């Protein structure tokens, strides 16, 4: 994907696909440090690590090479990619006949836990500002270069000091199992809905293509995480979360008695909380409170397994 974009003249991160530790060491001369070492095909931040030294990169390569990833396939090769500093965005689109409709633009809060990038939450934008417009133009150029003329896509991109740089383009809807209800509250539609509309009601979708991006509300989406692994005894902090301003819903919560261990993967297996409001600062404050509760261990009650 990145090679195809580079061939089309787009600015992309330096990277290399490596199959041995020696290949990796040679690749670092081209890619530089720090780097992100990750499976060439997986999801949810599985096996992804930020490495600041050659030793860290080699050790992580050895840890994930030839291991089974989250998708159930073996990591025969590993991707080494230039680390991109800057704000990370999620851009969800639906395309028809080479024209792209922007459904969602969200900013990601990404922590580093022991070198593992961990997406804590996202918060959407209601308008495109001077920083966001170049990001969207870059994403559209990526979709064009990759030949995505029809259907849904979601793109992760970072706005670096040198401009937008791609992380990945996923030619599919954003989170196939995500609850559409909060999306309708925030945007008036969901990614799934727009994809179906573009197929079954193309005339209605073409009218959308002429509209400016201006959703009525802001959506904050938090991926809940337990600071401890073990057997879930309860979620005592949930009632306090429900009382936070802008709270909309909590979905995919784990059942009492189940084992929780997902501390870094972005799979939603330990729950997702949505906040919806027209005031972005209000949603940001609620997300900050939730993050503080999680970090203090005040959300989940977990017994050691």
Q: Which class in CATH covers the domain with range 87-209?
A: alpha beta
In sign, the C-alpha dihedral spanning 195, 176, 138, 79 is negative
Residue whose token pair is 């949505």: 274
pLDDT given for residue 265 in this prediction: 59
Per DSSP, helices labelled H in 106-163 are: 132-145
Residue among 192, 300, 303 at smallest CA distance from 250 = 300
Segment 80-115, tens digit of pLDDT: 999 999 999 999 999 999 999 999 999 999 887 777
The 10s digit of each residue's pLDDT in 109-141 is 988 777 788 888 999 999 999 999 999 999 999
Domain ranges of the chain: 2-82, 87-209, 218-303
Indicate the length of the chain as a whole number: 305
Give the CATH superfamily of 2-82.
Answer: ATP-grasp fold, A domain (3.30.1490.20)
Architecture of domain 218-303: 2-Layer Sandwich (3.30)
Q: How confident is the model at residue 159 (pLDDT cuts 50, 70, 90)?
A: very high
pLDDT of residue 264: 61
Q: Check: CB of residue 5 under 8 Å from CB of residue 145.
A: yes
If one compares 226 and 190, the residue with the highest pLDDT of the two is 190
Q: Which of 154, 153, 297, 140 is nearest to 221 (CA)?
A: 154
Topology agreement, domain 87-209 and domain 218-303: yes
Q: Are 124 and 142 in contact (CB under 8 A)?
A: no
């Amino acid at each position: 994907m990145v090679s195809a974009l580079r061939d089309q003249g787009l600015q992309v991160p330096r990277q290399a696909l490596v199959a041995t530790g020696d290949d990796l060491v040679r690749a670092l001369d081209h890619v530089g440090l720090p780097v992100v070492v990750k499976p060439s095909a997986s999801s949810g931040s599985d096996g992804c690590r930020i490495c600041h030294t050659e030793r860290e990169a080699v050790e992580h390569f050895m840890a994930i090479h030839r291991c089974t990833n989250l998708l159930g396939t073996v990591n025969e090769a590993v991707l080494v990619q230039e680390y991109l500093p800057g704000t990370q965005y999620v851009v969800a689109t639906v395309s028809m006949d080479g024209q792209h409709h922007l459904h969602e633009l969200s900013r990601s809060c990404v922590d580093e836990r022991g070198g593992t990038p961990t997406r804590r939450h996202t918060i959407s934008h209601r308008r495109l500002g001077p920083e966001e417009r170049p990001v969207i133009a870059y994403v559209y150029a990526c979709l064009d270069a990759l030949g995505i003329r029809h259907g849904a896509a979601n793109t992760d991109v970072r706005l670096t000091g040198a401009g937008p740089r791609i992380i990945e383009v996923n030619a599919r809807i954003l989170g196939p199992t995500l609850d559409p209800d909060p999306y309708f509250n925030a945007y008036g539609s969901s990614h799934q809905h727009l994809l179906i509309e573009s197929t079954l009601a193309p005339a209605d979708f073409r009218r959308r293509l002429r509209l400016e991006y201006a959703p009525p509300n802001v959506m904050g989406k938090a991926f809940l995480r337990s600071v401890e692994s073990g057997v879930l005894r309860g979620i005592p902090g949930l009632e306090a979360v429900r009382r936070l301003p802008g709270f909309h819903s909590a979905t995919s919560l784990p059942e009492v008695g189940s084992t929780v261990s997902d501390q870094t993967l972005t799979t939603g297996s330990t729950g997702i909380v949505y906040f919806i409001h027209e005031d972005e600062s209000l949603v940001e404050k609620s997300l900050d409170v939730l993050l503080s509760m999680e970090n203090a261990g005040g959300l989940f009650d977990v017994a050691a397994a």
